[in-house]
Chains A and B, each alone.
Chain A
């Protein structure tokens, strides 16, 4: 079966021409539908770059290779087109949007995606009901959803709001970038519960994390080690535990 996300020999650089610095260097990775893959790696390995290149952030130049979602080359698409195709990034540092209430923002996004896919807009009552249900799952205060996006939110609230958006938008492919950073153990559990609720045979996930801790709660099917811009090792869930015990140097030394 064709993998849902297929990355082949992907290279990417950041910065302007002469200053350009290669971050991804021949990265290949397959994530089939229904699976959760973790990407671990030391600081500066290119983890966040991978998430930005996949979602189309400007400032990154793809210098080689390909990435397809369900067989479609996503690297040529606008960020919003990728989103409409089902690509979702849970940001490591969620962005504040003053003056735009959460509900307005998410409803605008949802309808934009639906429109792009040729679907009808969601009605106001349906949206509010769905929002209420999701908020309940995540222990989110309904009042919070009336406030401007991420403005004055704590680190934990921001991460929970990312998961709220994910559950509202029901993307096909999820990228979680350092979702555990800044979370206390209770918030981590809530967030993990939300992510686990999204696990589905039709959905793929890429969980990017620096620490193994998150993987205690979100059990990955595969663990990949990213270093120097490429995947240098792939294993089962227990690879994460080994990395925790032996450190990246130990595992990397063995791979090199």
Chain B
């Protein structure tokens, strides 16, 4: 029987058993097995995987490109990046420490062996379905995600508003997309970047690497050479995307570096809200993640990009966990365009991430709202860059860092105002909250101003979660861990408000889980 993706252990289950029921039972089992673990997304699925040869070489890149049947120009593009990467050095300026990465020790490409599309739900490897179930994705949607024929319509009808279209990235290959037909009606293109390369080569060619150039930095260049898959979004002129677009990134195969590449273009006067939620299975070995996200907003366009990141942070002693070295940048290319980043970062062992805005168009607006939580031995060095080039450009930075355990949390930000950016304005607020006395919070704001009419404001606070506040809440009857969660939610409130509703709820519970055991 092929329906289990070639593995034998579940063969007996493949017959008449209702998929939904069997998944529920298995999910319960899995959940029970995980009860002792704090990390609720820590499980991995056994399915066979196609790997590129281990390590990084020109051959690896040719393998990836061939596996994806890519056009010649893209292979050349990758190889150029690889050549460049060989001459670069890993950056060391961030306030993070980690063991030396052996770039030859990783697999740079993994795809689920059973392929990406299925004629019916019976053909879908059960393990994949179970993974979705554990992630809380309803079966009907899982069918859609997996590209089961005829599933889109039923799922679309059944789904309550507000609707979210999901592009699931299972390991590296985007398995399927939902709601594609409806989005097509609006003219919205929402697909994996590999597909877009074939279906919309002109658009991809026109914008790929124009916000984050190949040579941008060590990790972005690495990504340019070996990116496996990711999401492509194009919103045509004047179109307001009819639903929130969402991607679940999920690393699954052991030792697989993840190199996502996301490209979002909002044409003139278009609007899109994009959600990126991340969970990863538990791993003992460090996993490398170097994603690149490029956003382009043309005249009067607006892009809202929200992230909840909950990757495996490593165990109490700092063993394992994801290395998260991400380059995210938005280009407000047109006048009056707007790009807004909102992030809730609770996972990963090491985070190195600065979602930025290039405010090129006159009157363009950039925003960065961030909650970064570190606990245990996590290290985060995160912040933003607001590059003011156009006239009357405005930016706003609200950063909330929460450090607990033995962790270190650094805000690093740059506000740069060009000579021509007359009447540019920036407001920056960086607040740090310390829980316990073994953690660190650092704020490193850089300001470069070359324009006399610019108005720049910076506020920063560092506070300790106080015994007084905790006792006050507990005296009212609120248990200690709930009190911590309540106080922390209060601390991050003005950032949570910028998250789409469903993400805000998820983020609140995530904060609580992330800080469990941080007090007392």
Give the B-binding residues of A (Cβ under 8 A): 55-59, 78-80, 82-84, 88-89, 91, 94-100, 104-106, 108-110, 112-113, 116, 148, 165, 169
Choose from A55, A99, A116 the contact partner of B494 (Cβ within 8 Å). A99
CB-CB nearest in chain B for A165: B476
Chain A minimum-CB-distance residue to B488: A99
For window 459-489 of chain B, which residues contact chain A by CB distance below 8 Å? 466-469, 471-480, 482-483, 486-487, 489
Q: Is the CB of B472 within 8 A of A112?
A: no
Q: List 27 A-B contacts (CB under 8 A).
A: A57-B471, A57-B475, A78-B474, A79-B471, A79-B474, A79-B475, A80-B479, A80-B483, A83-B475, A83-B476, A88-B475, A91-B475, A97-B487, A99-B489, A100-B486, A100-B493, A105-B473, A108-B482, A108-B486, A109-B473, A112-B477, A112-B479, A113-B476, A116-B477, A148-B490, A165-B476, A169-B477
Q: How far is the CA of A113 from the CA of B482 in the complex (A)?
A: 12
Knowing A79-B475, A91-B472, A99-B493, say if A58 contacts B467 (CB, 8 Å).
yes
In the bound assembly, the distance between CA atoms of A237 and B474 in angstroms comes to 33
Q: Of A58, A99, A109, which one neighbours B476 at CB under 8 angstroms?
A: A109
Taking A95-B469, A95-B472 as contacts, is the C-beta distance between A109 and B490 under 8 angstroms? no
Pairwise interchain contact B482-A99, C-beta atoms closer than 8 A: no
Q: In the complex, which residues of chain B have a beta carbon less than 8 angstroms from the beta carbon of A80?
A: 474-475, 477-480, 483
Which of chain A's residues has its CB closest to B461's CB?
A98
Name the contact of B482 in the complex, choosing from A98, A106, A112 (C-beta under 8 A): A112
Contact (Cβ within 8 A) A109 B468 = no
Given A99-B491, A99-B492, A109-B478 contact (CB < 8 Å): yes
Binding site for A on B (CB under 8 A): 466-469, 471-480, 482-483, 486-487, 489-494
* Nearest A residue (CB) for B474: A79
Closest to A94 in B: B472
Least distance between B471 CB and chain A CB atoms (Å):
5
B449 to chain A, nearest CB (A): 31
Task: State the main secondary structure of chain B at its contact with A.
Answer: helix
Besides the known contacts A80-B475, A97-B490, 5 further A-B residue pairs in the complex with CB atoms under 8 A apart:
A56-B474, A95-B466, A95-B468, A98-B491, A100-B493
CA gap between A247 and B475 in the complex, in Å: 33
Please, which residues of chain A bring their CB within 8 A of the CB of B492? 99
CB B332 to nearest CB in A, in angstroms, measures 30
Q: Which residues of B contact A82 (CB under 8 A)?
A: 475
Contacts A57-B471, A112-B482: A99 and B490 contacting too (C-beta < 8 A)?
A: yes
- Of B480, B489, B490, chain A has the most CB atoms within 10 Å of the CB of B490
Assuming the contacts A99-B489, A99-B492, A148-B490, asked whether A109 and B471 have C-beta atoms less than 8 A apart, the reply is no
Residues of B within 8 A of A116 (CB): 477
B490 engages A98 (CB within 8 Å): yes
Kindly provide the distance from the CB of A126 to the nearest chain B CB, expressed in whole angstroms. Answer: 18
The CA-CA distance from A55 to B476 in the complex, in Å, is 10
Q: Which chain B residues border A109 with CB–CB below 8 Å?
A: 473, 476-478
Chain A residue numbers with a CB within 8 Å of B467 are 58-59
In the bound complex, CA of A124 to CA of B425 (Å)? 42
A59 proximity list for chain B (CB < 8 A): 467
In the complex, are the beta carbons of B469 and A112 less than 8 A apart?
A: no
What CA separation (Å) do A116 and B487 show in the bound complex?
20
Cα A56 to Cα B494 with chains together (Å):
32
Shortest Cβ distance from B467 into A: residue: A58
Which of B474, B475, B489, B494 meets A100, CB within 8 Å? Answer: B489
CA distance A98 to B483 in the complex (A): 13
User: Cβ of A96: which chain B residues have Cβ within 8 Å of it?
Assistant: 469
A91: B residues at CB distance < 8 A: 472, 475
- CB closest chain-A residue, reference B491: A99
Which residues of A lie under 8 Å from residue B483 when comparing CB positions? 80
Report B398 CB to chain A, min CB distance, Å: 12
Which residues of B have CB within 8 Å of A79?
Answer: 471, 474-475
List, in ascending order, chain B residues with CB within 8 A of A113's CB.
476-477
Complex: A104 Cα to B478 Cα, angstroms: 12
- Considering the complex of A and B, which 10 residue pairs feature the smallest CB-CB distances, nearest first? A99-B490, A83-B477, A109-B476, A100-B490, A113-B477, A99-B493, A79-B474, A95-B472, A112-B477, A109-B477
User: How many angstroms between the C-alpha atoms of A56 and B491 in the bound complex?
Assistant: 25
* Chain A CB within 10 A, most for which of B469, B471, B475, B493: B475
- Whole-angstrom CA separation of A55 from B474 in the bound complex: 10
Chain A minimum-CB-distance residue to B400: A99
CA gap between A56 and B476 in the complex, in Å: 12
- In the complex, A110 Cα to B482 Cα: how many Å? 13
A169–B487 alpha-carbon span in the complex (Å): 20
B475 touches A55 (CB 8 A): yes
What residues of B have a CB within 8 angstroms of the CB of A95 in the complex?
A: 466, 468-469, 471-472
Chain A residues near B475 (CB-CB < 8 A): 55-57, 79-80, 82-83, 88-89, 91
A104: B residues at CB distance < 8 A: 486
Q: For the complex, what is the distance from the CA of A104 to the CA of B489, rounded to whole Å?
A: 11
Q: Which residues of B contact A99 (CB under 8 A)?
A: 489-494
Query: What is the CB-to-nearest-CB distance from A79 to chain B, in angstroms, rounded to a whole number?
Result: 4
When C-beta atoms are compared, the residue in chain A nearest to B490 turns out to be A99
Q: How far is A99 from B497 in the complex, measured between Cα atoms in Å? A: 11
**Most chain B beta-carbon contacts within 10 A, residue among A56, A88, A105, A110:** A105
CB distance from A106 to the nearest CB of B (A): 8
Q: A91-B472, A95-B469, A99-B493 are in contact. Are A105 and B477 (CB under 8 A)?
A: no
Q: Is the CB of B471 within 8 A of A105?
A: no
In angstroms, Cα B472 to Cα A4, docked, is: 24
Given A105-B486, A108-B486, A112-B482, A169:B491 Cβ within 8 A: no
Q: How far is the CA of A29 from the CA of B486 in the complex (A)?
A: 36
Bound CA–CA A80/B486 (angstroms): 14
Q: Measured between C-beta atoms, what is the minimum distance from B492 to chain A in Å? A: 7
Distance (whole angstroms) from the CB of A15 to the closest CB of chain B: 14
Q: Which residue in A58, A84, A106, A108 is a CB contact (below 8 Å) of B471?
A: A58
Across the two chains, which residue of chain A brings its CB closest to B483?
A80
Q: A residues within 8 A CB of B469? A: 95-97
- Distance, CA A83 to CA B473, complexed state (A): 10
Question: Judging by beta carbons under 8 Å apart, are A83 and B474 in contact?
Answer: yes
Give chain A residues whose Cβ lies under 8 Å from the Cβ of B466.
95
CB-CB under 8 A from B487, the residues of chain A are 97, 100
| Closest residue on chain A to residue B493 by CB atoms | A99
**Chain B, residue nearest A104 (CB):** B486
Expressed in whole angstroms, the Cα–Cα distance for A151 and B482 within the complex equals 20
